[in-house]
Amino acid sequence: MKPINIGLLGIGTVGGGTYTVLKRNQEEIARRAGREIKVKMIADKDLDRARSFADHDVIVTDNAHEVTTHPDIDIVVELIGGQTIAKNLILEAIAHGKHVVTANKALLANHGTEIFAVARTKGVMVAFEAAVAGGIPIIKALREGLTANRITWIAGIINGTSNFILSEMRDKGLSFEQVLAEAQKLGYAEADPTYDIEGIDAAHKITLMSAIAFGIPVQFSKVYTEGITKLTGEDIRYAEELGYRIKLLGITKRVEKGIELRVHPTLIPVRRLIANVEGVMNAIVVKGDAVGATLYYGAGAGAEPTASSVIADLVDVTRMQTAEPMHRVPTLSFQPDLLSDTPVIPMEDVETSYYLRMQVIDKPGVMAEITRIVAENNISISALIQKEPSSDSDRVSIIMLTHLTVEKNINAAIARIESLPVVTSKVIRIRIEELNN
Protein backbone atom coordinates (compact mmCIF):
# COMPACT_ATOMS: atom_id res chain seq x y z
CA MET A 1 0.00 0.00 0.00
CA LYS A 2 1.32 3.45 -0.83
CA PRO A 3 2.63 5.63 2.01
CA ILE A 4 0.52 8.29 3.64
CA ASN A 5 2.11 11.65 2.92
CA ILE A 6 2.79 14.18 5.63
CA GLY A 7 3.48 17.87 5.27
CA LEU A 8 5.28 19.36 8.28
CA LEU A 9 4.69 23.03 9.00
CA GLY A 10 7.54 24.15 11.26
CA ILE A 11 10.70 22.21 11.99
CA GLY A 12 11.52 23.70 15.39
CA THR A 13 11.88 21.63 18.56
CA VAL A 14 8.74 19.50 18.14
CA GLY A 15 8.92 19.41 14.35
CA GLY A 16 12.52 18.25 14.51
CA GLY A 17 11.61 15.62 17.10
CA THR A 18 8.74 14.41 14.94
CA TYR A 19 10.96 14.05 11.88
CA THR A 20 13.65 12.25 13.88
CA VAL A 21 11.31 9.77 15.59
CA LEU A 22 9.35 9.04 12.40
CA LYS A 23 12.61 8.20 10.70
CA ARG A 24 14.20 6.26 13.55
CA ASN A 25 11.13 4.09 14.20
CA GLN A 26 9.72 4.00 10.68
CA GLU A 27 9.70 0.24 10.40
CA GLU A 28 7.86 -0.28 13.69
CA ILE A 29 5.44 2.59 13.02
CA ALA A 30 4.58 1.16 9.62
CA ARG A 31 3.97 -2.25 11.19
CA ARG A 32 1.44 -0.60 13.45
CA ALA A 33 -0.18 1.79 11.00
CA GLY A 34 -0.38 -0.77 8.22
CA ARG A 35 1.44 1.54 5.80
CA GLU A 36 4.41 3.85 5.75
CA ILE A 37 4.00 7.32 7.21
CA LYS A 38 6.26 9.53 5.14
CA VAL A 39 7.21 13.18 5.50
CA LYS A 40 6.97 14.47 1.95
CA MET A 41 7.23 18.22 2.54
CA ILE A 42 8.67 20.50 5.19
CA ALA A 43 7.88 24.19 5.37
CA ASP A 44 9.97 26.48 7.55
CA LYS A 45 11.24 30.04 7.31
CA ASP A 46 14.64 28.68 8.26
CA LEU A 47 15.44 26.75 5.09
CA ASP A 48 18.86 25.73 6.30
CA ARG A 49 17.43 24.11 9.37
CA ALA A 50 14.76 22.38 7.30
CA ARG A 51 17.40 21.09 4.89
CA SER A 52 19.53 19.83 7.78
CA PHE A 53 16.69 17.40 8.63
CA ALA A 54 15.25 16.62 5.23
CA ASP A 55 16.25 13.47 3.38
CA HIS A 56 16.87 13.85 -0.34
CA ASP A 57 13.32 12.98 -1.36
CA VAL A 58 11.65 15.55 0.91
CA ILE A 59 10.48 18.83 -0.60
CA VAL A 60 11.64 21.80 1.46
CA THR A 61 9.97 25.18 1.18
CA ASP A 62 9.65 28.44 3.06
CA ASN A 63 6.13 28.84 1.80
CA ALA A 64 3.73 26.93 4.07
CA HIS A 65 0.86 27.42 1.63
CA GLU A 66 2.61 25.13 -0.81
CA VAL A 67 2.18 22.36 1.74
CA THR A 68 -1.41 23.07 2.77
CA THR A 69 -2.52 23.12 -0.85
CA HIS A 70 -0.31 20.38 -2.33
CA PRO A 71 -2.40 17.62 -3.90
CA ASP A 72 -0.09 14.82 -2.69
CA ILE A 73 -0.26 15.73 1.00
CA ASP A 74 -2.71 13.67 3.08
CA ILE A 75 -2.05 15.09 6.55
CA VAL A 76 -0.75 18.53 7.50
CA VAL A 77 1.12 18.72 10.82
CA GLU A 78 0.98 22.26 12.19
CA LEU A 79 3.85 22.93 14.61
CA ILE A 80 4.32 26.65 14.03
CA GLY A 81 2.42 27.84 17.07
CA GLY A 82 0.76 31.20 17.56
CA GLN A 83 -2.77 31.93 16.55
CA THR A 84 -3.07 34.00 13.39
CA ILE A 85 -0.87 32.35 10.79
CA ALA A 86 -1.36 28.88 12.23
CA LYS A 87 -5.13 29.26 12.12
CA ASN A 88 -5.14 30.37 8.49
CA LEU A 89 -2.89 27.52 7.49
CA ILE A 90 -5.00 24.95 9.30
CA LEU A 91 -8.18 26.29 7.72
CA GLU A 92 -6.50 26.27 4.32
CA ALA A 93 -5.36 22.66 4.79
CA ILE A 94 -8.88 21.66 5.82
CA ALA A 95 -10.35 23.48 2.83
CA HIS A 96 -8.06 21.39 0.66
CA GLY A 97 -9.40 18.20 2.23
CA LYS A 98 -6.38 17.43 4.36
CA HIS A 99 -6.45 16.00 7.85
CA VAL A 100 -4.67 18.13 10.44
CA VAL A 101 -2.51 17.19 13.41
CA THR A 102 -1.47 20.03 15.70
CA ALA A 103 0.17 20.68 19.05
CA ASN A 104 -1.24 24.22 19.17
CA LYS A 105 -3.06 24.42 22.49
CA ALA A 106 -3.44 28.22 22.44
CA LEU A 107 -5.10 28.14 19.03
CA LEU A 108 -7.46 25.29 19.86
CA ALA A 109 -8.40 26.62 23.29
CA ASN A 110 -9.45 29.87 21.63
CA HIS A 111 -10.68 28.81 18.20
CA GLY A 112 -11.15 25.05 18.50
CA THR A 113 -14.92 25.07 18.19
CA GLU A 114 -14.75 26.98 14.90
CA ILE A 115 -11.92 24.85 13.49
CA PHE A 116 -13.58 21.57 14.47
CA ALA A 117 -16.84 22.70 12.83
CA VAL A 118 -15.11 23.53 9.56
CA ALA A 119 -13.23 20.21 9.64
CA ARG A 120 -16.50 18.43 10.14
CA THR A 121 -18.12 19.97 7.10
CA LYS A 122 -15.12 18.86 5.05
CA GLY A 123 -15.11 15.38 6.55
CA VAL A 124 -11.53 15.61 7.80
CA MET A 125 -9.99 15.00 11.21
CA VAL A 126 -8.22 17.47 13.49
CA ALA A 127 -6.11 15.62 16.06
CA PHE A 128 -4.33 17.30 18.94
CA GLU A 129 -2.98 14.78 21.45
CA ALA A 130 0.30 16.76 21.55
CA ALA A 131 -1.52 19.91 22.66
CA VAL A 132 -2.12 18.57 26.17
CA ALA A 133 0.52 17.15 28.49
CA GLY A 134 3.17 16.40 25.87
CA GLY A 135 3.73 12.68 25.52
CA ILE A 136 0.97 11.49 27.86
CA PRO A 137 -1.88 10.01 25.82
CA ILE A 138 -4.48 11.80 27.91
CA ILE A 139 -6.73 13.00 25.08
CA LYS A 140 -7.05 9.40 23.96
CA ALA A 141 -7.78 8.25 27.50
CA LEU A 142 -10.51 10.85 27.90
CA ARG A 143 -11.98 10.48 24.46
CA GLU A 144 -11.80 6.74 24.09
CA GLY A 145 -10.50 5.00 27.20
CA LEU A 146 -13.12 6.36 29.59
CA THR A 147 -16.17 6.56 27.35
CA ALA A 148 -18.21 4.46 29.78
CA ASN A 149 -17.97 7.10 32.44
CA ARG A 150 -19.74 10.18 33.50
CA ILE A 151 -16.61 12.15 34.28
CA THR A 152 -16.82 14.00 37.58
CA TRP A 153 -13.59 15.95 37.63
CA ILE A 154 -10.09 16.29 36.22
CA ALA A 155 -7.12 17.71 38.11
CA GLY A 156 -3.77 17.97 36.42
CA ILE A 157 -0.20 19.09 36.80
CA ILE A 158 -0.04 20.21 33.19
CA ASN A 159 2.74 22.75 33.15
CA GLY A 160 6.20 21.32 33.68
CA THR A 161 7.91 24.68 34.15
CA SER A 162 5.79 25.70 37.10
CA ASN A 163 5.95 22.23 38.61
CA PHE A 164 9.73 22.33 38.37
CA ILE A 165 9.76 25.73 40.09
CA LEU A 166 7.50 24.55 42.91
CA SER A 167 9.51 21.34 43.38
CA GLU A 168 12.77 23.26 43.61
CA MET A 169 11.35 25.91 45.94
CA ARG A 170 10.29 23.16 48.32
CA ASP A 171 13.37 20.96 47.98
CA LYS A 172 16.00 23.66 48.20
CA GLY A 173 14.21 26.37 50.14
CA LEU A 174 14.83 28.87 47.35
CA SER A 175 12.61 31.79 46.38
CA PHE A 176 10.42 31.89 43.29
CA GLU A 177 12.76 34.36 41.58
CA GLN A 178 15.86 32.26 42.28
CA VAL A 179 14.31 29.08 40.88
CA LEU A 180 12.87 30.87 37.87
CA ALA A 181 16.36 32.08 36.98
CA GLU A 182 17.67 28.52 37.39
CA ALA A 183 14.85 27.15 35.23
CA GLN A 184 15.67 29.65 32.50
CA LYS A 185 19.31 28.63 32.65
CA LEU A 186 18.32 24.93 32.30
CA GLY A 187 16.00 25.66 29.39
CA TYR A 188 12.91 24.67 31.39
CA ALA A 189 11.55 28.22 31.27
CA GLU A 190 11.52 30.63 28.36
CA ALA A 191 13.01 34.12 28.35
CA ASP A 192 9.45 35.39 28.71
CA PRO A 193 7.98 32.83 31.08
CA THR A 194 4.54 34.49 31.40
CA TYR A 195 2.48 31.71 29.80
CA ASP A 196 3.97 29.10 32.11
CA ILE A 197 4.17 30.88 35.45
CA GLU A 198 0.91 32.78 35.13
CA GLY A 199 -1.03 29.59 34.44
CA ILE A 200 -2.07 30.52 30.90
CA ASP A 201 -0.52 27.46 29.31
CA ALA A 202 -2.22 25.24 31.89
CA ALA A 203 -5.47 27.10 31.22
CA HIS A 204 -5.28 26.27 27.50
CA LYS A 205 -4.83 22.61 28.34
CA ILE A 206 -7.55 22.32 30.96
CA THR A 207 -9.95 24.08 28.58
CA LEU A 208 -9.37 21.37 25.99
CA MET A 209 -9.70 18.55 28.52
CA SER A 210 -12.87 20.07 29.95
CA ALA A 211 -14.48 20.21 26.53
CA ILE A 212 -13.68 16.56 25.88
CA ALA A 213 -14.67 15.36 29.32
CA PHE A 214 -18.00 17.11 29.50
CA GLY A 215 -18.95 17.46 25.87
CA ILE A 216 -19.01 21.26 25.96
CA PRO A 217 -17.48 23.74 23.47
CA VAL A 218 -13.94 24.97 24.14
CA GLN A 219 -14.23 28.22 26.09
CA PHE A 220 -10.86 29.61 27.03
CA SER A 221 -12.39 32.96 27.98
CA LYS A 222 -14.17 31.27 30.88
CA VAL A 223 -11.15 29.82 32.70
CA TYR A 224 -10.21 31.35 36.03
CA THR A 225 -6.41 31.63 35.93
CA GLU A 226 -3.99 32.33 38.75
CA GLY A 227 -0.26 31.66 38.47
CA ILE A 228 2.50 30.81 40.93
CA THR A 229 4.38 34.11 41.01
CA LYS A 230 3.11 35.10 44.44
CA LEU A 231 3.87 31.84 46.21
CA THR A 232 6.41 32.00 49.00
CA GLY A 233 8.60 29.40 50.63
CA GLU A 234 6.76 30.15 53.84
CA ASP A 235 3.44 28.89 52.49
CA ILE A 236 5.10 25.86 50.95
CA ARG A 237 6.60 24.97 54.35
CA TYR A 238 3.41 25.55 56.30
CA ALA A 239 1.49 23.45 53.78
CA GLU A 240 3.96 20.59 54.29
CA GLU A 241 3.59 20.83 58.06
CA LEU A 242 -0.15 20.43 57.57
CA GLY A 243 0.30 17.37 55.32
CA TYR A 244 -0.21 19.19 52.02
CA ARG A 245 1.89 19.96 48.98
CA ILE A 246 1.33 23.00 46.77
CA LYS A 247 0.94 22.28 43.06
CA LEU A 248 -0.29 24.40 40.18
CA LEU A 249 -3.37 22.46 39.11
CA GLY A 250 -5.69 22.75 36.18
CA ILE A 251 -9.07 21.70 37.50
CA THR A 252 -12.40 21.11 35.84
CA LYS A 253 -15.33 19.67 37.67
CA ARG A 254 -18.96 18.92 37.03
CA VAL A 255 -21.12 20.39 39.80
CA GLU A 256 -24.82 20.95 40.16
CA LYS A 257 -24.84 24.43 38.61
CA GLY A 258 -22.48 23.70 35.74
CA ILE A 259 -18.79 23.19 35.04
CA GLU A 260 -15.92 24.55 37.10
CA LEU A 261 -12.88 25.51 35.03
CA ARG A 262 -9.86 26.91 36.83
CA VAL A 263 -6.08 27.01 37.20
CA HIS A 264 -4.44 27.99 40.46
CA PRO A 265 -1.92 26.92 43.07
CA THR A 266 -3.57 24.22 45.15
CA LEU A 267 -2.85 22.43 48.41
CA ILE A 268 -3.25 18.69 47.90
CA PRO A 269 -2.69 15.96 50.49
CA VAL A 270 0.89 14.66 50.35
CA ARG A 271 -0.35 11.06 50.40
CA ARG A 272 -2.04 11.43 46.99
CA LEU A 273 0.06 9.97 44.18
CA ILE A 274 -0.17 13.20 42.16
CA ALA A 275 1.35 15.17 45.05
CA ASN A 276 4.54 13.21 44.43
CA VAL A 277 4.93 14.21 40.80
CA GLU A 278 8.09 16.29 40.80
CA GLY A 279 10.18 18.41 38.48
CA VAL A 280 9.09 18.99 34.91
CA MET A 281 6.85 15.91 34.84
CA ASN A 282 3.11 16.13 34.23
CA ALA A 283 0.26 14.04 35.64
CA ILE A 284 -3.48 14.14 35.30
CA VAL A 285 -6.07 12.54 37.57
CA VAL A 286 -9.44 11.82 36.00
CA LYS A 287 -12.38 10.82 38.17
CA GLY A 288 -15.12 8.84 36.45
CA ASP A 289 -18.27 7.49 38.05
CA ALA A 290 -17.57 3.90 37.00
CA VAL A 291 -13.78 3.62 36.99
CA GLY A 292 -13.06 5.89 39.99
CA ALA A 293 -9.81 7.85 39.88
CA THR A 294 -7.24 7.06 37.20
CA LEU A 295 -3.92 8.84 36.83
CA TYR A 296 -1.72 9.42 33.76
CA TYR A 297 1.89 10.49 34.20
CA GLY A 298 4.76 11.35 31.88
CA ALA A 299 6.86 14.02 30.23
CA GLY A 300 4.72 17.07 29.51
CA ALA A 301 7.08 18.73 27.06
CA GLY A 302 10.26 18.23 25.06
CA ALA A 303 11.02 17.35 21.46
CA GLU A 304 10.55 13.58 21.46
CA PRO A 305 7.81 13.21 24.08
CA THR A 306 5.70 15.73 22.17
CA ALA A 307 6.63 14.05 18.89
CA SER A 308 5.37 10.79 20.43
CA SER A 309 1.88 12.31 20.61
CA VAL A 310 2.08 13.93 17.17
CA ILE A 311 2.98 10.58 15.63
CA ALA A 312 0.31 8.70 17.61
CA ASP A 313 -2.17 11.07 16.01
CA LEU A 314 -0.65 10.41 12.58
CA VAL A 315 -1.10 6.67 13.10
CA ASP A 316 -4.66 7.21 14.34
CA VAL A 317 -5.57 9.38 11.37
CA THR A 318 -3.99 6.84 9.03
CA ARG A 319 -5.98 4.04 10.61
CA MET A 320 -9.24 5.99 10.77
CA GLN A 321 -9.32 7.71 7.44
CA THR A 322 -11.21 4.93 5.72
CA ALA A 323 -13.93 4.95 8.36
CA GLU A 324 -17.07 6.91 7.61
CA PRO A 325 -16.57 10.32 9.24
CA MET A 326 -19.48 9.85 11.60
CA HIS A 327 -17.98 6.63 12.87
CA ARG A 328 -14.61 8.11 13.65
CA VAL A 329 -13.80 9.09 17.18
CA PRO A 330 -15.47 12.50 17.52
CA THR A 331 -13.01 15.38 17.93
CA LEU A 332 -14.46 16.37 21.28
CA SER A 333 -15.35 12.80 22.26
CA PHE A 334 -19.04 13.57 21.92
CA GLN A 335 -20.72 13.67 18.53
CA PRO A 336 -20.65 17.35 17.46
CA ASP A 337 -24.41 17.74 17.17
CA LEU A 338 -24.72 16.37 20.68
CA LEU A 339 -22.57 18.94 22.51
CA SER A 340 -23.97 20.15 25.77
CA ASP A 341 -24.68 23.75 26.73
CA THR A 342 -23.87 23.23 30.40
CA PRO A 343 -22.41 26.59 31.48
CA VAL A 344 -18.99 27.22 32.96
CA ILE A 345 -19.76 28.77 36.33
CA PRO A 346 -18.09 31.96 37.56
CA MET A 347 -15.24 31.60 40.03
CA GLU A 348 -17.18 33.26 42.83
CA ASP A 349 -19.65 30.36 42.77
CA VAL A 350 -16.95 27.70 43.01
CA GLU A 351 -17.01 25.70 46.23
CA THR A 352 -13.75 24.53 47.72
CA SER A 353 -11.79 24.79 50.94
CA TYR A 354 -9.04 27.26 51.68
CA TYR A 355 -5.68 27.87 53.27
CA LEU A 356 -5.45 31.45 54.55
CA ARG A 357 -2.41 33.13 56.03
CA MET A 358 -2.21 36.61 57.49
CA GLN A 359 0.05 38.64 59.72
CA VAL A 360 -1.51 40.24 62.77
CA ILE A 361 -0.42 42.24 65.79
CA ASP A 362 -0.17 39.83 68.68
CA LYS A 363 -2.69 41.13 71.21
CA PRO A 364 -5.74 39.77 73.02
CA GLY A 365 -8.96 39.56 71.05
CA VAL A 366 -7.43 39.38 67.58
CA MET A 367 -8.25 35.72 67.07
CA ALA A 368 -11.76 36.29 68.33
CA GLU A 369 -12.31 39.09 65.90
CA ILE A 370 -11.02 37.15 62.91
CA THR A 371 -12.94 33.97 63.70
CA ARG A 372 -16.12 36.03 64.19
CA ILE A 373 -15.77 37.50 60.68
CA VAL A 374 -15.18 34.05 59.26
CA ALA A 375 -18.24 32.64 61.02
CA GLU A 376 -20.40 35.55 59.89
CA ASN A 377 -19.55 34.62 56.31
CA ASN A 378 -20.74 31.06 56.85
CA ILE A 379 -17.28 29.63 56.74
CA SER A 380 -16.29 26.94 59.18
CA ILE A 381 -12.71 26.47 60.27
CA SER A 382 -11.00 23.08 60.23
CA ALA A 383 -7.64 24.23 61.66
CA LEU A 384 -6.22 27.42 63.11
CA ILE A 385 -2.55 27.80 63.91
CA GLN A 386 -0.59 30.73 65.26
CA LYS A 387 3.05 30.90 64.22
CA GLU A 388 5.50 32.93 66.27
CA PRO A 389 7.88 35.02 64.20
CA SER A 390 11.59 34.29 64.43
CA SER A 391 12.44 37.90 65.25
CA ASP A 392 11.19 39.57 68.39
CA SER A 393 8.53 41.47 66.48
CA ASP A 394 5.05 41.90 67.93
CA ARG A 395 3.55 40.31 64.85
CA VAL A 396 2.48 36.73 64.42
CA SER A 397 1.24 34.72 61.46
CA ILE A 398 -2.14 33.09 61.61
CA ILE A 399 -2.83 30.12 59.37
CA MET A 400 -6.35 28.97 58.90
CA LEU A 401 -7.77 26.00 57.00
CA THR A 402 -11.46 26.12 56.19
CA HIS A 403 -14.05 23.50 55.37
CA LEU A 404 -15.84 23.68 52.02
CA THR A 405 -17.28 27.07 51.29
CA VAL A 406 -18.11 29.26 48.33
CA GLU A 407 -15.46 31.57 46.85
CA LYS A 408 -17.59 34.67 47.28
CA ASN A 409 -17.89 34.03 51.02
CA ILE A 410 -14.12 33.82 51.28
CA ASN A 411 -13.73 36.99 49.25
CA ALA A 412 -16.09 38.80 51.58
CA ALA A 413 -14.35 37.46 54.68
CA ILE A 414 -10.90 38.38 53.36
CA ALA A 415 -11.99 41.93 52.55
CA ARG A 416 -13.27 42.41 56.08
CA ILE A 417 -10.23 40.80 57.71
CA GLU A 418 -7.87 42.98 55.69
CA SER A 419 -9.73 46.07 56.86
CA LEU A 420 -8.98 45.28 60.52
CA PRO A 421 -6.29 47.60 61.92
CA VAL A 422 -4.60 44.68 63.72
CA VAL A 423 -4.11 42.81 60.43
CA THR A 424 -0.85 44.08 58.98
CA SER A 425 -0.64 42.11 55.72
CA LYS A 426 -2.71 41.07 52.78
CA VAL A 427 -4.41 37.73 53.39
CA ILE A 428 -2.71 34.97 51.40
CA ARG A 429 -5.36 32.61 50.01
CA ILE A 430 -4.57 29.24 48.48
CA ARG A 431 -7.30 26.80 47.56
CA ILE A 432 -7.30 23.21 48.86
CA GLU A 433 -8.44 20.15 46.95
CA GLU A 434 -8.62 16.81 48.73
CA LEU A 435 -9.07 14.97 45.39
CA ASN A 436 -10.88 12.16 47.15
CA ASN A 437 -14.40 12.11 45.79
Of residues 201-220, those binding a copy of itself (CB under 8 A): 215
Which residue, 205 or 429, has its beta carbon nearer to a copy of itself? 205
Residue 168 makes contact with a copy of itself by CB under 8 A: no
Residue 276 contacts a copy of itself per CB under 8 A: yes
Rounded CA-CA distance 101/310 in Å is 7
Instruction: Verify binding: residue 191, a copy of itself, rule CB under 8 A.
Output: no
For the chain, the farthest-separated pair of C-alpha atoms sits apart, in whole angstroms, at 83
Q: Does 319 bind a copy of itself (CB under 8 A)?
A: yes
289 binds a copy of itself (CB under 8 A): yes
Q: Give whichever of 27 and 192 is closer to a copy of itself, judged by the CB atom.
A: 27
CB of 323 to a copy of itself, least distance (A): 4
Dist CA 89 CA 79 (whole Å): 11
Asked if 146 touches a copy of itself (CB under 8 A), the answer is: yes
Identify the residue among 67, 312, 379, 427 touching a copy of itself (CB under 8 A): 312
Question: Among 44, 235, 316, 433, which residue sits at the site for a copy of itself (rule: CB under 8 A)?
Answer: 316
Centroid of chain to Cα 337: 26
205 labelled catalytic = yes
Q: How many helices (H) and strands (E) does the chain have?
A: 15, 17
Residue 79 contacts a copy of itself per CB under 8 A: no
353 binds a copy of itself (CB under 8 A): no
Please say whether the beta carbons of 157 and 265 come within 8 A: no
Q: Is the Cβ of residue 275 or residue 345 nearer to a copy of itself in the bound state?
A: 275
Q: How far is the CB of 22 from a copy of itself (least distance, A)?
A: 8
Q: CB–CB of 229/176 below 8 Å?
A: yes
Q: Which is nearer to a copy of itself, 91 or 299 (CB)?
A: 299
Task: Establish if 186 lies at the interface with a copy of itself (CB under 8 A).
Answer: no
C-alpha pair distances (Å), 371 with each of 159, 239, 375: 36, 20, 6
Q: CB neighbours (10 Å) of residue 48?
A: 8
For a copy of itself, give the closer residue by CB, 301 or 373.
301
Task: Report yes or no: 19 and 42 within 8 Å, Cβ to Cβ.
Answer: yes
Instruction: Annotate 325-341 with DSSP letters as a single string.
Output: GGGSPPTBSB-GGG---
Q: Confirm if 164 and 185 have CB atoms less than 8 A apart.
A: no
Nearer to a copy of itself, 140 or 247 (CB): 140
Catalytic site residue from 38, 87, 98, 205: 205
**Binding flags for a copy of itself, 102-141, as an x/- string (CB under 8 A):** ---------------------------x-----xxx--xx
Which one of 42-50, 287-295, 365-373, 401-409 is the stretch in contact with a copy of itself (CB under 8 A)?
287-295
Region near a copy of itself per CB under 8 A, out of 64-72, 145-153, 261-269, 410-418: 145-153
Q: Which ranges in 34-159 belong to alpha helices (H)? A: 47-53, 64-68, 84-95, 105-122, 138-140
Q: Which of 52, 88, 147, 393 binds a copy of itself (CB under 8 A)?
A: 147
Say if residue 421 is exposed, middle or buried (CB neighbours under 10 Å; 0-12, 13-18, 19+). exposed
**125 contacts 119 by C-beta, under 8 angstroms:** yes
Number of chain residues interacting with a copy of itself (CB under 8 A): 67
**Residue 243 Rama label (left phi>0; alpha psi -120 to 50; beta):** left
The reply on whether position 293 binds a copy of itself by CB under 8 A is yes
Which of 226, 5, 1, 220 shows the shortest CA–CA distance to 97? 5
Tell me which of 10, 15, 16, 17 binds a copy of itself, using CB under 8 A: 17
166/310 with CB nearer a copy of itself: 310
**Containing H/E element for 45?**
none
Residue 77 binds a copy of itself, judged by CB under 8 A? no
Q: How far is the CB of 41 from a copy of itself (least distance, A)?
A: 20
**Contact between residue 403 and residue 381 where contact means Cβ atoms under 8 Å apart:** yes
- Pairing status of strand 244-255 against strand 258-269: antiparallel
Where in the sequence numbering do the catalytic residues fall?
Answer: 205
- Residues near a copy of itself (CB under 8 A): 17, 21-22, 24-25, 28-29, 31-34, 129, 135-137, 140-141, 144-150, 215, 273, 276-277, 283, 288-299, 304-305, 307-312, 315-316, 318-324, 326-330, 333-335, 338
